[in-house]
Chains A and B, each alone.
Chain A
Amino acid sequence: MFEKLKKLFTPVESLTADEARAYINEHPEGSFTLLDVRQPNEYERAHIPGAKLIPISKLSDSYDKLDADKPVIVY
């Protein structure tokens, strides 16, 4: 029960666009994941360079494609 609640309520920190941009520029590629959880057509129109596309509907089946030890910036 506690674990279920934890999954629902674990707080996620927010970064403003400026903070995210600074983070991306100050950290080497490969040390973090930039994750785009929108639909493919939205990704196709515009995405942050280097973002990995995993639509939110497929995320729960795709945890193995992400490195849990690295910070993830999600949009």
Chain B
Amino acid sequence: MLSGQGFQQVYNLSGGIQAWEGTVAEGPVELNLDMIRGDETPVEIITLAYGMEQNLGTFYRTVSARTGDSELYDLLSMLASIEDRHKGRLMELHRSVEPSPLSVEDFETRVTATLMEGGFDADEFIKRNDKYLGTVAEVLDLSLMLEAQSLDLYLRFAQETGSDETRRVLHTIGDEEKQHLEALGRLRNDRA
């Protein structure tokens, strides 16, 4: 249908979603879209993303603090440090879009997000998934799920926003998340 309507490059995914072996996201289109109004500035979106990265890092550290398994501890510490690195990238993004960028300390006073990436509440997530947080493979699977939901949410935010500039920022964040998701997938395959 599209190719006859002026769309120059249309590709059909052979085999559809059943053939897709990458990570998938779940939930309706509107899931967690109430986290945004739709008219956020790039800086507001970066601040929201920073808070969600921070909360996900805290989640990994909380789980790492209670494990006696050194391999799992190392993995969770590494996952937490990746979230710290993402925060650094978001600060770079903040500096690139804001003519008068804030220091990290001042920026962090503006962070109000209570949910972690993907729109999950950390405490509730731990309660619901406690039995899946005991091994390296389980944590990697949960981490992949969280990152897929996170990528999907940023890209649905991008579809929702009315600002081209904010959309560009969300796409940049999405590109980072895609790389992270691929790296995690490779790590899981290596450990499987």
Report which A residues bind B (CB closer than 8 A). Answer: 6-8, 10-18, 20-21, 23-25, 28-30, 36, 38, 40, 42-50, 52-53, 56, 59-60, 63, 66, 68-75
Contact = CB atoms under 8 A, between A and B. Distances in A.
B17 A66 contact: no
Interface in B118-145: none
Contacts of A52: 159
B99 interface: no
Contacts, number: 138
24 contacts: A7-B1, A7-B4, A12-B2, A12-B10, A16-B19, A20-B20, A21-B22, A30-B167, A30-B168, A43-B28, A46-B17, A46-B25, A47-B25, A59-B1, A63-B2, A66-B2, A71-B8, A72-B2, A72-B11, A74-B2, A74-B10, A74-B12, A75-B13, A75-B16
B106 interface: no
Contacts of B167: 30
B77 to A, nearest CB: 26
A21 B20 CA distance: 8
Interface of B: 1-17, 19-29, 148-149, 151-152, 155-156, 158-159, 167-168, 170-172, 174-175, 178-179, 181-182
Given A14-B11, A29-B172, 10 more contacts: A7-B5, A12-B2, A20-B11, A29-B155, A29-B158, A38-B17, A50-B174, A69-B8, A71-B11, A75-B17
Contacts of A56: 1
A17 B19 contact: yes
A54 B178 CA distance: 23
Contacts of B181: 49
Contact of B14 (A16, A29, A42, A50): A16
Contacts of A38: 17
A68 B155 contact: no
**CB-CB nearest 5 A-B residue pairs:** A7-B4, A50-B155, A75-B13, A29-B171, A71-B9
A36 B24 CA distance: 13
A45 B81 CA distance: 31
Nearest to B148: A49
A71 B2 CA distance: 11
A50 B8 contact: no
